[in-house]
Chain A
Amino acid sequence: MSDEYKRITPPLTDDVVADLRIGDKVLITGYIYTARDSAHKRLVELIKKGEPLPFDIKGQIIYYVGPAPAKPGYVIGSAGPTTSYRMDPYTPPLLELGLKGMIGKGQRGKEVKEAMKKYKAVYFEAVGGAGALLARRIKSVEIVAYEDLGPEAIRKLYVEDFPVIVANDMYGGDLFLEGKSRYRKVG
């Protein structure tokens, strides 16, 4: 665990993912996509029907977020991560299509972790409840699909130095488990 930030820009290659280890502090600059529950459901329905997704998911990072409305003069309202496990059932098919990174908060299920190993992907934790700070690092917002879903529509964000921490890496490492056991003083 080094004290330095690693800098990455999507689309991510296998080599970039291979270099990311749990506990790494990472700054993301570039385009990332937002999606939460309803959008995930629709994406997976498309995959099942064999239809193309509304954006090329290869190498991309999805951010689980449902932002607050933007105040006048702001590109986006407060925009911190939402709880990730709700996206677990939809995640493996997206990883299979080449999704390389996910940003959210909280632990992932076993199937997701297995799929991350298999397809070489990484899960980042953004700080929950740091919506004001994270919104500042979002420089532009563009709706890509499902506008009818309101705050849950898929958006393409341009982020600069967006701070995250590697919570699960492609080697099966899980910071939630390892971090907890390292500092645990009870059985």
Chain B
Amino acid sequence: MREIEYDLIVETVKNLAIEANSVLDEDMYKVLEEAYEKEESPTGKEVLKQILENDKIAKTEMIPICQDTGTAVMFVEVGEEVVVKGGHLKDALYEGVRRGYVDGYLRKSMVKDPLRRVNTGDNTPPIIHFDIVPGDKLKIMFAPKGGGSENMSVAKLFAPAAGREGIKKFVVDVVDQAGGNPCPPIIVGVGIGGNFEMSAILAKKSLFRKIGERHPDPFYAELELEILEEVNKLGIGPMGLGGTVTALDVHIEYYPCHIASLPVAVNIQCHANRHKVAIL
């Protein structure tokens, strides 16, 4: 058994929240520079120029890239040999979010219930997906997810006959419908298979992958590139003002599914592609 201190988990999540909101992964700065070079529309170029400048300011001053500092989404992998000392794991994760959002001057965007809509005041509760894995480590993958791009996401249950082409068309249509609302250039996360809820979780998890990194299975890697090419023909462009760079990448994750089903979920991620991982 390996003991991990409650306070260490709190501190770690707090820092993840603050850092994820201000500093993008290195690959994002690079990919946005490349997008700036590639973009054919002058308006699109201007938008990308401002995004790049913004992301640099956020990083140097440690202030949020975007004022929508999102719902705190976490994928947490708990090693079977891990014991949390001094409290419960779930409490520690909640407390970390609370401290991160309150002490870190991040915007609180969670309401207590979806219809009466009173703000919880500290951005809790987070949305946590737990997994139990072999080993003695605790892995926390943190992603603040903004409302603008989340609202443009769609899940659908197809008949298996829809096949590869049906899925392709569906994903491209979802992006087309979303237009400028999810703050393009976007990253398109696609979950295929599993069941109703699994497809959406796969789509969300795929967003953690590095830009430009392909699915290990060549069949899906190829589909990713095909969808990316189609999406960038839509003309939506940066912020939807027209252009050749609508998406920076497409990530697919799949899971086995029932003989009668073909679930597909598309989770759209804006250019503020924020996530950060810690392993304790």
Chain A positions near chain B (C-beta within 8 angstroms)? 1, 3, 23, 25, 65-71, 74, 77-80, 82-83, 85, 105-107, 125, 127-136, 150-151, 163, 165, 167, 175-176, 178-186
Contact = CB atoms under 8 A, between A and B. Distances in A.
B69 interface: yes
Given A83-B181, A183-B235, A186-B234, A127 B50 contact: yes
Contact of B54 (A1, A125, A130, A179): A130
Contacts of B61: 132
B243 interface: yes
Contacts of B270: 128-129
Contacts of B241: 23, 125, 165, 167, 175-176, 179
Ranked nearest first, the 6 interchain pairs of A and B with the lowest CB-CB distance are A179-B242, A184-B235, A133-B54, A183-B235, A128-B183, A130-B54
A132 B179 contact: no
Nearest to A180: B235
A128 B107 contact: no
Interface in B243-280: 243-244, 270-272
A183 B272 CA distance: 23
5 contacts: A66-B67, A66-B107, A106-B240, A182-B235, A183-B235
B47 interface: yes
B81 interface: no
Nearest to B47: A127
B181 A106 contact: yes
Given A69-B105, A180-B234, A180-B236, A131 B242 contact: no
A98 B114 CA distance: 35
Nearest to A1: B42
B57 interface: yes
What is the predominant secondary structure among interface residues of chain B facing chain A? loop
Given A77-B63, A106-B181, A129-B270, A83 B148 contact: yes
B197 interface: no
Contacts of B237: 179-180, 183
Contacts of B239: 105, 125, 127-128
A74 to B, nearest CB: 7
Contacts of B67: 65-68, 77-80, 131, 135
A24 B119 CA distance: 38
A183 B231 CA distance: 12
A185 B243 CA distance: 11
Contacts of B181: 83, 85, 105-107
Interface string B99-116: 000000111000000000
Interface in B28-61: 40-44, 46-47, 50-51, 53-55, 57-58, 61
Contact of B107 (A68, A71, A85): A68
Nearest to A178: B242
Given A1-B42, A69-B107, A180-B236, 10 more contacts: A67-B67, A80-B66, A127-B51, A129-B183, A131-B66, A132-B54, A132-B58, A165-B43, A175-B241, A183-B40
